[in-house]
Structure 1
Amino acid sequence: MKKAHIKWGIIGCGDVTEKKSGPAFNKVSNSQLLAVMRRNGEKAADYARRHHVPLWYDDVNQLLLNSEINAIYIATPPSSHLEYAIRALKHGKAVYIEKPVTLNADEAIGLAVAVKQYQGKLVVAHYRRQLPMFLKIKEIIMEGVIGDIRLVDLRLWQSRSPDLVTQDASNWRTNPAVSGGGYFFDLSPHQLDLMLYFFGNPLSYSGFSQIQTPHGEVADQTRGVILFDNKVVFNGSWNFNVSKSDNVDSCEVVGELGSLIFSIFGNKMTLKNGDGEQEIFFTHPENIEHPMIANTVNYFLGKGTNPSSIEEAVTLMRIIDTFATVI
């Protein structure tokens, strides 16, 4: 994109944009949040007023027809991601899109085709890749501090109203037509994308889901295994039906010389090796997507590589679809 400045329009200025992402667009160099759009015009206007955004719309067509806007951030629920992303690409806009990138792998493949067809640029908001904590974890793995990696064990066990997500009246995350398939679809992209980021190409994977809760509409238990090209074995366990007292958010990476234990949604890492045991705490940015947005702006301006591509997201969605198969 031969632009000196990225001027953003947001489609869907809901909860995720209030602090995690929205304010960061004006904090990054060569970046400005110019407009927001929400179908509820009153809410769009309120967001624009509170965040000092110059323009607001209640019609996506008006947003996309604004020639000053050259990049679109899609922050709606997953069911509308594919439609909005393709429309933005058709209008020549670069796209930054929330996770999960689409409802399923087939839609992700369709989006990858559209990116090539319109010769566009698209970044998926797998923003944990750019947080200092996970950059440090990757550094430790790559430098062999705990030796060759043998296995990874991940557990995310939460109650039926997880503290990790915003609970609102509509609770679209448990509506499969809107979310793709419950809390697993909402939270696992963060975790599984990091596994791809750390360990590379998956050689094979298998898994299953089930609905344990009577009359449930979406799976509340998921299991999955990945074998990576480098022979690292990943085991994942997700439950969304346990007592709050049994909540777990843990990932353990075991190497030949030691291990790393950390929480995907926390800020502490424990390193164990021949030098003993060390706890390291990290402070996440005030706007947690800030580092990813900064890298995205650089990519859109032709100053860097894509920090999280649609091709990588296709692989991720294939894994998620496999794990999410209900038995």
Structure 2
Amino acid sequence: MKTYNWGIIGCGNVTELKSGPAYQKTKGFNLSAVMRRNIDKAEDYANRHQISKFYGDADELINDSEIDAIYIATPPDTHEYYALKVAEAGKICCIEKPMAPSYDACLNINAAFTSKNLPLFVAYYRRSLPRFTQVKYWIDNNKIGSIRHINWHLSKPASAIDLSKTYNWRTDANIAPAGYFDDLASHGLDLFAYLLGDISQANGIAINQQGLYTAMDAVTANWLHGSNITGTGSWNFGTEKREDNVEIYGSEGKIKFSVFSEQPIILESQGKTESFIIEHPENIQLFHVENIKKHLEGGYIHPSTGATAAHVAWVMDQILQTN
């Protein structure tokens, strides 16, 4: 069995528990090097996670002859820049979500990896979580009949950082034009495409209600999966309390779940209600990373690739009316 040596560009908070340890726990993967522009922080991360190499320059990591694959975990405005370098170096890549701030940037990234026949993955890890593969099983096995409609509402209060107007790249319109929508809604919309098929049409309205930062903070949308399943969504980041509710309506029942909260998944069908709690792994990207290894071994297609991630970028561009 081949062993793949991975390097991480951008070892920030997301890599501490959610993703970094998943690469260490996956059989056949070694997390061998990390990079951060602040080399002291890179060294600290490497020491705490027992990683042998650390860099302050991404090019040095990318061109390290002992590194087979790169996980890009920087803010999304730099994903394309680093991904093109990884492709040029001829290495396997996984990019943190969202893949890039625009659909056009996603197309550029995909073209670079396709031209060299290199595997490209994106960290929409919900496609690999048992909680959501159970929902897909219900849908694919007609537990609620023909699917008619999906609705998602996500909202939360403004945070202390928002209210203090402290700089946060997630609400900087130059990096994430729709703020938390870019960061959070991409997870749900990608998941819905996985559950119900690609989205063929989408449109929406995005505004800034609170004036706390430059990005948009309120978005509504409607869309169509294929030619026959309608969808609606609303996202607001200045409400009284946090809510995260998805409902999938079928001809013979309904499925309810949350995209982010670890609430039960609920199946209502034939006059009965079933409720299941399926816990996430300690490192939430573990199954996603293990599926990368299965893909690289052959005979398995990872559910989250550059192509699927580009699709959700197109959907979000349509909702935000940027194309």
Kept in 1, the 8 Å contact 2:7–2:71? The answer is: yes
Structure 1 counterpart of 2:190, which letter? D
- Residue 36 in 1 paired to residue 34 in 2? yes
Please give the alpha-carbon distance, in whole angstroms, between the structure 2 residues aligned to 1:304 and 1:215: 45
- Residue 274 in 1 paired to residue 251 in 2? no
State the Cα deviation string for residues 109-136 of structure 1 (Å, max 9, x = none): 1111111122211001100011111000
Deviation at 1:92, TM superposition (A): 1.1
1:119-134 pair list within 5 angstroms: 119-134=117-132
- CA separation of 1:168/1:127 partners in 2, compared to 1, >3 Å: closer, same or farther? farther
- CA separation of 1:105/1:290 partners in 2, compared to 1, >3 Å: closer, same or farther? same
Please give the alpha-carbon distance, in whole angstroms, between the structure 1 residues aligned to 2:11 and 2:246: 32
Identify the residue that residue 197 of structure 2 maps to in structure 1: 200
Structure 2 counterpart of 1:312, which letter? T
Residue number among 11, 15, 18 corresponding to 1:20 in the alignment: 18
Identify the residue that residue 293 of structure 1 maps to in structure 2: 289
Kept in 2, the 8 Å contact 1:208–1:322? The answer is: no
User: What percentage of aligned pairs have identical amino acids?
Assistant: 36
- Residue 225 in 1 paired to residue 251 in 2? no
Identify the residue that residue 95 of structure 2 maps to in structure 1: 97
- CA separation of 1:168/1:121 partners in 2, compared to 1, >3 Å: closer, same or farther? farther
Aligned length: 320
Kept in 2, the 8 Å contact 1:104–1:180? The answer is: no
- Residue 176 in 1 paired to residue 165 in 2? no
Instruction: Give the 4+ runs in structure 1 shifted more than 4 A.
Output: 167-170
Identify the residue that residue 188 of structure 1 maps to in structure 2: 185
Deviation at 1:53, TM superposition (A): 0.5
Please give the alpha-carbon distance, in whole angstroms, between the structure 2 residues aligned to 1:103 and 1:48: 29
- CA separation of 1:33/1:216 partners in 2, compared to 1, >3 Å: closer, same or farther? closer
Deviation at 1:226, TM superposition (A): 1.1
- When the two chains are superposed, the root-mean-square deviation of aligned CA atoms in Å is 2.0
- Of 300-309 and 175-184, more deviation after overlay is shown by 300-309
- Residue 255 in 1 paired to residue 253 in 2? no
- Of 297-306 and 55-64, more deviation after overlay is shown by 297-306
State the Cα deviation string for residues 17-56 of structure 1 (Å, max 9, x = none): 0000001111111000000000000100000000001110
Residue number among 55, 59, 65 corresponding to 1:61 in the alignment: 59
- CA separation of 1:42/1:304 partners in 2, compared to 1, >3 Å: closer, same or farther? same
Kept in 2, the 8 Å contact 1:8–1:32? The answer is: yes
**TM-score, normalization: structure 1?**
0.93
Does the residue aligned with 1:139 lie in a helix, a strand or coil? helix
Please give the alpha-carbon distance, in whole angstroms, between the structure 1 residues aligned to 2:92 and 2:212: 42
**TM-score, normalization: structure 2?**
0.94
State the Cα deviation string for residues 41-79 of structure 1 (Å, max 9, x = none): 010000000000111000111111211110000000001
Please give the alpha-carbon distance, in whole angstroms, between the structure 2 residues aligned to 1:241 and 1:262: 22
Please give the alpha-carbon distance, in whole angstroms, between the structure 1 residues aligned to 2:233 and 2:268: 21
